Amino acid sequence: MDTKLEKIVQALQAEFKAQAEEFRGEAHVFVDAARIADALTLLRDRHRFELLSALTAVDYWPQTQPRFHVIYQLTSIAENLSLMIRVPVDGDQPEVPTVTGVYGNANWREREVWDMFGVRFTGHPDLRRILMAPDWEGHPLRKDYPLGYEEPQFTFNIKEIDSRKPYAKE
């Protein structure tokens, strides 16, 4: 790992009691959901991570604790560094505080994660579905959402198809 990056990771570990991992020279830091906005604000203002490159999630179903990891990929243009922040969240109806106040593009990216994974971002100004239709049910990128080989859902057969889907019973 880059020495500059190592210092930043150590600072995060001290400040947020964060766990850190390294893989192929990349740093992955685990931060608590409650403090994610603070962590990103600190990284943006003190460590010059100006760009939120990616915001996505991973579903570890059937594991429930944590079920999801929300992933924030940051880029520092000034220092030429990258850092991945992972936020583990539990359960089928997870909530993470929004970071739209820190990075503007988190607005749409969080909508995408809500749409695809059903992770609710509390405090988000406009948390609607973004890619799927507004009346869509379910969150397609969850691992308990079936893939293909099935009839497309229309209004007239949605109930019938839905009853056959192997959702985690909520």
Partner 1 sequence: MPQLEEVTLEELKNMVSDRALTGETMMLNLGPQHPATHGVLRLLLELDGEIVINVIPDIGFLHTGVEKNMEAKSYQKAEVMTDRLDYLNPVGNNLAFCMAVEKLVDLDVPPRALGLRVIMTELQRIASHLVWIGTYGLDLAAMSMFMYAFRERELILDMFELISGQRMMTTYFRPGGVWRDAPVEFEAAVRDFIKIFPKRVDEYEGLLTRNPFLLDRLYGIGKLTKEKALSLGATGPILRSTGVDWDLRKARPYMGYEQYDFNVPVLTEGDNYARYLVRVQEMRESLKIVEQALNKLPMGPVRSDNRKFVPPPRSEVGVSMEALIHHFKLWTDGFDAPKASIYSAVESPRGELGVFLEGDGGPNPYRIHMRTPSFENVALVSAISKGHLVADLIAIIGSLDFVLGDIDR
| Binding stretches for partner 1 (CB under 8 A) | 23-24, 26, 28, 50-54, 56, 58-59, 71, 73, 75, 77, 80, 82, 84, 103-105, 107-109, 112, 116, 125-126, 129-135, 140-141, 145, 147-148, 154-156
CB of 8 to partner 1, least distance (A): 16
CB closer to partner 1 out of 13 and 75: 75
Q: Are 102 and 108 in contact (CB under 8 A)?
A: no
What are 17-26's contacts with CB under 8 Å, separation 24+?
25/1, 26/1, 26/82, 26/84
- Residue of 5, 16, 100, 2 whose CA lies nearest to 48: 5
CB of 159 to partner 1, least distance (A): 13
The crossing angle, in degrees rounded to 10, of helices 36-45 and 3-16 is 140
Strand partners, 27: 22
CB closer to partner 1 out of 156 and 166: 156
Cβ atoms within 10 Å of 166's Cβ, excluding its own: 8
CB closer to partner 1 out of 97 and 140: 140
CB of 51 to partner 1, least distance (A): 6
CB closer to partner 1 out of 62 and 134: 134
